[in-house]
Amino acid sequence: MNSNGQQRLSANTAGYRGRIAPTPTGLLHLGHAATFLLAEQRARNAGGVLILRIEDLDPPRCKPEFTAAAMEDLHWLGIRWEEGPDTGGAHAPYQQSLRRECFLAAWAKLLAGGFIYPCARSRKDVATAANAPHEDDATPLYPPQWRPPIGTGTDARSPAGVNWRFRVPDGKRITFLDARCGTQTFTAGKNFGDFVVWRRDDVPAYELAVVADDYAMQITEVVRGEDLLVSTARQLLLYQALNWEPPTWHHAPLLRDASGQRLAKRNAALSLRALRQRGVSPAEIRAALIAAPEQPAAFSF
């Protein structure tokens, strides 16, 4: 990151480490396939390593059968990884539910630096108090007047029992260069407010977990959907607070169905499992995704 807070896009591909990170809350669909195939392609083009990480930090929704199905469907599609739950590797374990100590260490470092604070407010409280929703993902902005004084909660021994929020520097512009989308700029306190890094049910939130894992696994480039562009701004604040070097970014287009709706796991008709059962081959899926990566998924399978 340069002196203006803008992350440079590195042209050095030596030691490239990419990752694919499915969340096992349902079956993988064509949108996942498009992003994961792109991640694999970029790793292979760089002569690098691809990692499979299972992001299973939502206990009520993440199911072992979905983890097994994801790995089976990815293998069927022809995607190969060098490190993962089934292959092992130097940065095991490759399931977030088994990596609590890594997340606790990051939480403790943020706490010691005064970057986070305990918050007893519910999501409903925030939604009721907010004047306007978040511009990008309809998440209500956390009212800054609710922030406690800096240093509140620094004597905590455990994150359990309350939400822990990151104190965003209001007005700070976060700029980064995306390999596909170009220069992106978001403003803390405008595009997003104080965000949760640890949940009251004693589970680390996505933003903290993904940063801690990408750093620990030495990921050099993150390939994921463009719906997570604003998450990148939040995560860059975490990297800065933790004094960690961030990866570079490539945000892929979102695949949509024939009506223009973003694909979702609840749309079983376009799941890889359903397509397999209908006799569609991996080669057909790859060809379709390459032919129209940003077009509605009106595939004639």
Q: Which CATH architecture has domain 6-291?
A: 3-Layer(aba) Sandwich (3.40)
17 in Cβ contact with 219 (< 8 Å):
yes
Tell me, what's the pLDDT at 130?
59
Question: How far lies 153's CA from each of 82, 117, 164, 207, 282, in Å?
Answer: 41, 6, 9, 20, 52
- Cβ neighbours for 222, distance < 8 A, ≥ 6 positions apart: 18, 19, 214, 232, 247, 248, 249, 250
Domain boundaries, the chain: 6-291
Q: What is the mean pLDDT of residues 63-71?
A: 96
Asked whether residue 209 carries a pLDDT value surpassing 70, the answer given is yes
Mean confidence (pLDDT) of the chain: 88
Identify the three-state secondary structure at position 161.
coil
Tell me, what's the pLDDT at 9?
41
Q: What is the mean pLDDT of residues 16-39?
A: 94
Q: Higher pLDDT residue, 78 or 125?
A: 78
Task: In whole angstroms, give the CA distance from residue 141 to residue 8.
Answer: 28
